[in-house]
Structure 1
């Protein structure tokens, strides 16, 4: 298996997108003023002009200023000014810009923040026909819809897959990755009993962000977290309970450990064979190889579902134009350019971000790399959480109940019912 450039770059950027945002303050704009709006009028095909101010975070913020010189060459009357914002202050910076009405024209928005900022009235509805939504991975596109209105365009994406030690799998009698739930359980069992792994699989046993590992199992089983318009939570369901029972059984049977690991422990444990497999995103290839795992010793595969390859979580970054933008026409033309397949392929070569535009994967390294192909396949079945203002609060509720069931201190049915009751008390914010 060959290692690709994407796995070696953008690690901090992708990992930062898992950081939870804070709830938008009730001061300033009405926190439920948007959603259900009409899309903005279509932009014309004239060149962009004027100054376009952009906020971007992480590696994107560092690279975008030089990268957009190509846009300025195509639009000689336009000037792009990029301000790099640290991820740990980005949420509050965007919140402050929305509240004050003083901010950039365009900003990068973490995928789980769209519901909050869109519903706050701080983001401009996407112009009609700016891009073709069918060109983007469905989960990423839908994650920009708040109350039925599109408020941004997916820029780059990430998703989670199954990493496993191929040498240990062969020792255990497996020449291919598990395809469904029954096989995944047997696979983890065999890695322990036949190949000497202490734990056949590593899964998040609760705490912040564990929903990103658990919910793919629930989505694969048909669970829906909210109704179609995002106004009510629908967490309590047979698929949710069935999937949480399946997930918690890995801990109950000793196939996964209930202790939260220290930094670097998973990577070193995977390298020395203590952990036979785990679920994570594209950044983890670089981490395990840096820890000493040879590229020939591991592979990636789609997350198994009940009856075959299942769903995963889709994260990443979106491009949005603020309601108070001084140059909205130029801003949307820049967003349109950054969304084009060729531009996204070039940005992948520059930063290593996986393109949100699925047509960008049809040629070049994105089409030829075996490891990337697994991520591309998984992205077709990746799901975003509901784009509602209170998602971060509800995610915390789910995390806490996942932890209690993983540690065997709460019954699955009771845990799911509590998820539902507490989420209903919080509401969706729409």
Structure 2
């Protein structure tokens, strides 16, 4: 907690300085400013794309702040990180970017810190685990925007047809239930998406359920730890080799796995809150439980956060701060979360949703968020390691593969990246 108090103290000092000096050089305080925001698209169709959300929010903000315009461009997750990267390289960084990683920009001194932008109540309201995940060298640069945790989803109808009375609680249950589902004609008893789309997420979920993870308590990569080797060896021998994943995990992407569950073809899979809407729309009667571990439920679940960041180049600190305070108001945080099936990133909005039965299906995910474990996004090497995991982890569970060898290969890449400061 000491670090959090220090962060708030810094925010107080910054606020006092701005009060005494006014909006001086570098704050971009002039009238008729246009802020440029590049954001990711959370919609699954044009009708509910994020452009609609941002256009409405920007319009509401501009009515309250007529001297500030907000120009928003929304891109798919496939393109948005590269788009921002190219803009920065070309010398035209946006004022704001809502993308997947912040550490590399923070390390290069290109970002405002959160306490230079947000009012004290807004910064203090971030869920502590998310605020900490947004820190680079103990200073918060990444402001969480949209979060999720993971649970195991199961198809109640398929379970009943296979004579399974309750959801799995540990790995033995997963393997046993998958065998029963296969025997009753389920084409994909357990969907294991280790294809290139979001392999880093499925990988971390299994690492955590096996007592491992990407890093240790001091941030050193532990990808080839005994726990992780044991986990992927178990998957190889007990699910993949026995044909219980239905297809080659290296070729299965998360989107296809989710679609298979919504189509009633998947018995079990690890999923996040957006799967509820997708499965519900197809009439799937599903349940969800905390991730099973080796002996009972896993000690930790995976959390994922996307990040808002503000670039210094445009010099519009004051206007960006006003806009972000508006973005992170309870009303707007709750609206975004409800619209896209994500978890709110502030304590006040989380408490409001947990007290509202309208969001009852999200309550299990919300309760997990404070103790969830996140990607090591504060490491500048993480984008490279994530890319490497996407390219190689599918081979680790191939029946003819070598899990220990694959994990060691990725570990070597991680060590080299850390040693060279990448």
TM-score range, shorter chain: 0.7 to 0.9
1:53 — aligned with what? 35
**How far 1:286 moved relative to its partner?**
4.1
Contact 1:63 1:351 (8 Å CA) reproduced:
no
2:273 — aligned with what? 282
Q: Kindly tell me: are residues 175 and 381 of structure 1, through their superposed partners in 2, closer, same or farther at Cα, counting changes over 3 Å?
A: farther
Q: Kindly tell me: are residues 157 and 172 of structure 1, through their superposed partners in 2, closer, same or farther at Cα, counting changes over 3 Å?
A: same
Q: In structure 2, what is the Cα distance between the partners aligned to 1:245 and 1:100?
A: 45
2:46 — aligned with what? none
Instruction: List runs of 5+ in structure 1 lacking aligned partners.
Output: 1-37
- Report the 3-state secondary structure (helix = DSSP H, G, I; strand = E; otherwise coil) of the residue aligned with 1:84: strand
Higher helix share: 2
Q: Does 1:86 align with 2:75?
A: yes
**How far 1:215 moved relative to its partner?**
1.1
Per-residue CA deviations over 1:31-62 (Å, capped at 9, x if unaligned) read: xxxxxxx9675336989984351413323343
Q: Kindly tell me: are residues 258 and 351 of structure 1, through their superposed partners in 2, closer, same or farther at Cα, counting changes over 3 Å?
A: closer
Q: Kindly tell me: are residues 283 and 109 of structure 1, through their superposed partners in 2, closer, same or farther at Cα, counting changes over 3 Å?
A: same
Query: Which segment is superposed worse, 149-158 or 50-59?
Result: 50-59
Q: 1:144-223 counterparts in 2 under 5 A?
A: 144-193=134-183, 195-223=184-212
Q: Kindly tell me: are residues 319 and 309 of structure 1, through their superposed partners in 2, closer, same or farther at Cα, counting changes over 3 Å?
A: same
1:103 — aligned with what? 93
Q: In structure 2, what is the Cα distance between the partners aligned to 1:410 and 1:324?
A: 48
Q: In structure 2, what is the Cα distance between the partners aligned to 1:252 and 1:404?
A: 13
Q: Kindly tell me: are residues 188 and 382 of structure 1, through their superposed partners in 2, closer, same or farther at Cα, counting changes over 3 Å?
A: farther
Q: Kindly tell me: are residues 229 and 121 of structure 1, through their superposed partners in 2, closer, same or farther at Cα, counting changes over 3 Å?
A: farther
Q: Kindly tell me: are residues 199 and 91 of structure 1, through their superposed partners in 2, closer, same or farther at Cα, counting changes over 3 Å?
A: closer
Structure possessing the higher relative contact order (Cα contacts under 8 Å, 6 or more residues apart): 1
Q: Does 1:43 align with 2:47?
A: no
Q: In structure 1, what is the Cα distance between the partners aligned to 2:68 and 2:128?
A: 32
- Report the 3-state secondary structure (helix = DSSP H, G, I; strand = E; otherwise coil) of the residue aligned with 1:157: strand
List structure 1 segments (4+ residues) > 6 angstroms apart after TM superposition. Answer: 44-49
TM-score (norm 2): 0.78
1:415 — aligned with what? 406
Q: 1:217-366 counterparts in 2 under 5 A?
A: 217-226=206-215, 230=219, 232-248=220-236, 249-259=238-248, 260-261=251-252, 266=257, 269-270=260-261, 273-289=264-280, 293-295=282-284, 297-306=285-294, 307-349=296-338, 353-364=342-353
Q: Kindly tell me: are residues 182 and 151 of structure 1, through their superposed partners in 2, closer, same or farther at Cα, counting changes over 3 Å?
A: same
Q: Kindly tell me: are residues 340 and 277 of structure 1, through their superposed partners in 2, closer, same or farther at Cα, counting changes over 3 Å?
A: same
**How far 1:120 moved relative to its partner?**
2.9
TM-score (norm 1): 0.76
Per-residue CA deviations over 1:392-415 (Å, capped at 9, x if unaligned) read: 321233334422221123332222
Contact 2:159 2:181 (8 Å CA) reproduced:
yes
Cα RMSD over matched residues? 3.4
